[in-house]
Amino acid sequence: MRFIYIIVCLLCTITFVQGVENKILFNRLDVNNGLSSNEVTCIYKDRKGFMWFGSSSGLSRFDGYEFRAFRHEVDGALFSEAYVTQIMETADRNLWISYEDGKVGSIIRLKIYF
């Protein structure tokens, strides 16, 4: 009798779990939201929680609300708008960005260097 009770409980639980819908919310982020390009080549989340997107048109940072594109005209920096291939963070929280053309850029504490 106890065995039948356990089986009935398991069947009810399985039926209930299968009936629950998993709703996942997706937001599309693209050039209309400020992303440098719709062709994203790499993504990195830094220790402060910023999402960095490398693309065929350069580098963008997303703070959860809006994008900031890092281009030549931003802060007078000599930043490449080339195809970003990789984004990495060092132990001292500096970001290093590598480009398809072999160049390397660095972001050091809100200053931009190339």
Tell me, letter by letter, the H, E, C secondary structure of the chain: CHHHHHHHHHHHHHHHHHHCCCCCCCCCCCHHHCCCCCCEEEEEECCCCCEEEEECCEEEEECCCCEEEECCCHHHCCCCCCCEEEEEECCCCCEEEEECCCCEEEEECCEEEC
Chain segment 73-88, per-residue pLDDT in tens: 445 554 556 788 999 9
Asked whether residue 1 carries a pLDDT value surpassing 50, the answer given is yes
Q: What is the pLDDT of residue 114?
A: 43
Chain segment 6-65, per-residue pLDDT in tens: 766 666 666 554 555 667 777 788 888 888 888 999 999 998 899 999 998 888 999 989
Q: What is the pLDDT of residue 24?
A: 74
Q: What is the pLDDT of residue 51?
A: 93
Q: What is the pLDDT of residue 105?
A: 76
pTM of the predicted model as reported, rounded to 2 decimal places? 0.67
